[in-house]
Amino acid sequence: MEIQEIKQRFGIIGNSPLLNRAINIANQVAPTDISVLITGESGSGKEVFSHIIHQMSPRKHGPFIAVNCGAIPEGTIDSELFGHEKGAYTGAVGERKGYFETVSGGTIFLDEIAEMPLGTQARLLRVLESGQFIKVGSSKVEKTNVRVIAATNVDVYEAVKSGKFREDLYYRLNTVPLRIPPLRDRKEDIYLLFRKFTSDFTAKYRTPPIQLDEEAQQVLINYSWPGNVRQLKNMAEQLAVLETNHVITGPILLTYIPHEVSGRNLPMRVEHPGKEDFSERDILYKVLFDMKRDMVELKKLVADIVEHGGVAPAFANNQQAINQLYRDIEMPGNSHESQFTIQQPVINNNNKPDAFNITHDAEEVEESLSLIEKESDLIRKALKKHKGKRKLAANELGISERTLYRKIKELDL
């Protein structure tokens, strides 16, 4: 059968070379009786290809069953696949036939094969090699004639290397590998699929036909579609139900596309800060106000001590030391230019020194109130103090290390 006929029969939309190759492989392997391993991302249409292989094989008049191995609990999957005898385990009140017995002469599609427990994998390998199996709780060998098609959305070879999948079963299933391309590798098919889905859903729900403007088409084609065809179909259905405008623009379409998670390790700036960001702001304000208060108190304390003679004359005479002290207690980033001027005391008639004569010459410049500048200065000082060790700097600042990473990125430090 030609590829175009297969597409029409099974409702496959697209002309991608990768898609055509996958259909061609399915067409060639269908008349044989060998096992097939279908690989592809979730939502790419693996089950459709299992139907193609079954319907175009000599077993097409036999039964077909699809089993999701990841949806069956580990304790019951052996019973589901191979059956059990009465009393084989608690709750086994009667004999039960498994899928391999009931589907004999047909095809069994084992989806998410990588989720199958190792013990069950050993039983499956025996079926593939000899067509034999044993029911749970029985010692009698049963025979079956089933073609196995398996599928997975994970890298099975990596699972083999990590010990989560049997190597012998992998090579037995992978006689003919069949890879289904993800939708992002079929860009020429995306708009065709979208038009088909929206046409079907608008007819089903009796809503106005949907069209995309040029910008929306570019958004549709350039999106990566991590959910593949299933995600595209779901979005088309949402548009058919929710949108009243028949022409969809780029901004409208973007509201139906979830934001992808970036692979970057560093957190990104968010436009709408959450609770954590407000908490950080409050902490930073508190630190800045505390420093401002301490600075004012220290200025008053030094002035009071010197004015009332409570400081040693040697220190009082040390103009340079006083000025240095004043500079040290200035606010980080403060633009004030100030210094103390201390004159020698005047001896009065009682032979006692008068109070030190202090003048405080200052050129007052309006202080910067930029929170970003204060924040940058504090982070730089903390990093310098701890020699670039971000964990210690974060502890010093009273914020998490993750927050410090983000601040460094935001402030371009």
What confidence tens digit (pLDDT) does each residue in 24-66 have? 999 999 999 999 999 999 999 999 999 999 999 999 999 999 9
The answer for residues whose C-beta is within 8 angstroms of residue 85's C-beta and 6 or more apart is 92, 95, 135, 136, 137, 138
- Please identify, among 181, 207, 239, the residue that sits at the C-terminal boundary of a domain: 181
pLDDT at 299: 74
Among positive and negative, which fits the CA dihedral 150, 156, 160, 162? Answer: negative
- Please identify, among 225, 254, 283, the residue that sits at the C-terminal boundary of a domain: 254
State the average pLDDT for the chain.
81
pLDDT digits (tens, 9 = 90+) for 91-110: 777 888 999 999 999 999 99
Q: What is the percent of the chain where pLDDT is above 70?
A: 76
| Counted domains in the chain | 3
* Residue 389 or residue 350, greater confidence: 389
pLDDT digits (tens, 9 = 90+) for 23-32: 999 999 999 9
Q: Is the pLDDT reported for residue 342 higher than 50?
A: no
Q: How many CB atoms lie within 10 A of CB 116?
A: 25
Q: Which residue has the tokens 């935001």?
A: 410
Range of the domain at 205: 193-254
pLDDT at 308: 63
Q: Rounded mean pLDDT of 147-170?
A: 94
Q: CATH number of the domain that 100 lies in?
A: 3.40.50.300
Q: Is the pLDDT reported for residue 331 higher than 90?
A: no
Are 169 and 206 members of one domain?
Answer: no
pLDDT at 274: 42
pLDDT at 326: 52
Amino acid making up residue 250: G
Q: Is the pLDDT reported for residue 340 higher than 80?
A: no
Are 232 and 144 members of one domain?
Answer: no
- Please identify, among 223, 254, 285, the residue that sits at the C-terminal boundary of a domain: 254
Are 28 and 65 members of one domain?
Answer: yes
**Reported confidence tier of residue 224, pLDDT bands at 50, 70, 90:** very high
Among 118, 149, 120, 127, which residue's Cα sits nearest to residue 56? 149
**Reported confidence tier of residue 305, pLDDT bands at 50, 70, 90:** confident
Are 45 and 98 members of one domain?
Answer: yes
* Residue 127 or residue 311, greater confidence: 127
**Domain membership flag for residue 266:** no
Alpha carbon distance 363, 337 (integer Å):
5
**Domain membership flag for residue 262:** no
Are 288 and 149 members of one domain?
Answer: no
Q: What distances in angstroms separate CA 245 from CA 191, 208, 235, one per listed residue?
A: 19, 8, 15
pLDDT at 375: 78
pLDDT at 332: 46
